[in-house]
Structure 1
């Protein structure tokens, strides 16, 4: 069977699809992954064929604003940026992906398209080509004002080119869902043909920081990250200062948007890295302090870890709410995220038996979800 997977040009949108794509290839299917040039090395390191489709987030926003983009006011409320986000994710990106995927689908004529749920252009291109398709989620679905705006633009574009049946995240197609049911959006569960898939973390191979393996386990190990897109020097410095006060060791992944040198001298119990293999690190960790990105949130769910979430944007706020509602952690939003508050909340989470019990229960739920190989075996059900 010929399969085309497609995702937005972002690690957070690409990584969740790779375990199933690799499992499908290992099952003997002909798998091609269509995404932007920036993600080509990741796809090829996974041993998958790649073709270009779409463009990255920076190019998408630059395409919307043109050469005279006004600087964004960092003090403006997030809601003020919703109209721009709606246009970029609901119009600019879908149009570009449809333009790129249409000839690609014509050349390859796959039996099935697996499109990442944020990539509406993948769903629309498959519908235009008359090729069966299914969605693939990248985390918890986060309904709300910004999603309503995005979906309004998607619906307008779809109607403009004669595609009907547009629905929230699914376009009426089945959706592979990597979020445990107990923390998934009730609205999504009620309206979607859901195919559960265990969230298997994906990270490029790499060595763990020195001192992680074989460390003194009488001292907790805390992992601090703001992910690949929302790094903030000030937030990281405050978090490092708060966490360093604990009788614990701290590993920091600065990410691609903050240079480790920007964080200056750090205490002796803190180690700063540009990048860490998160999937390999989590089994060694006792607490994750992070931004609330889907990959880190779900990874912590699967590893039975308490979480302190410092949401920075996008779906991170609703992910943080889900963490709190599930009893597996806490959240500090905006100005709440002081050094003292991060210290105090982290101290409490490390000592809270109830949080650890809730995290173990959620990890058991994740472990019981179907594996990528099991879901790959079902893919022919959805092909034409």
Structure 2
């Protein structure tokens, strides 16, 4: 009997050992083939940004099918996450998403661009299109912003920022990367609006996102033939020429985007005046940033707009050229600036159904 018991113990030991060996081999196989890493990365994506990360477009934004996520560092936001590639150190590719309510303080990176309004065309953006209330900017890094107004709370919007803090260096098509960034940001915002109780409407799936043309790719054209965001200023062509800015560079017309800009250029091709329109959450952020700060030649106007408790803000700045350490539009024409701002603001307000345009005193 002792012999049989000893045999049973050996057989049990061999069986347990065989099971453990099999589990070890399976684990090694899963690890060495990347199956475990893929499972782990997918779990991190599923829980990223408090479970609101929309994964469509991620592969294009980071130019890789292998991406992973971790929590954001800003505890003041509604949610945030960092998505990158396992080989980010070698090839770049890192995306920061931040979600907040419009009545929360905006992150400093979102307010920083307003301080550059008077510096050439640094404040430029381009609309996302396809019905999305957002824009794309490039100021060293690409950023997409979208603000979804909550229909069940007139004073609140869900705001999302997608910052491509490291460009994927092995990506050949910038348009594909930007479109992926746009999709991730807009679709995450819409998904988050459902989770956090903001009844909102988005646009159609983005198929092409392009950076502003004002980055030097488009030559200024005569203001008498103004189009897009500058179209209202056609009638001021002669006065603009007298003020030293006969040309323009515009962005496409889009009544959904929360920021619009138009630039008036000198005959030498330098930006002389910049006009801006801000709506909803972006108008609130612009105001909280101090309207771009003191020490600049600028004027402001406001208007009341439907579906928003915050007034729209319109601004014109005389622009500074850092290359020459001077103002290309010299001397400053305050009367022209007032006329241009009023014409621009009246046209913008009419397009949005806003009323009561009034110029603000600088005193």
TM-score bracket, normalised by the shorter chain, equals under 0.3
> Which structure has more helix as a fraction of its residues?
1
- TM-score normalized by the length of structure 1: 0.26
> Which structure has more strand as a fraction of its residues?
2
- TM-score normalized by the length of structure 2: 0.27
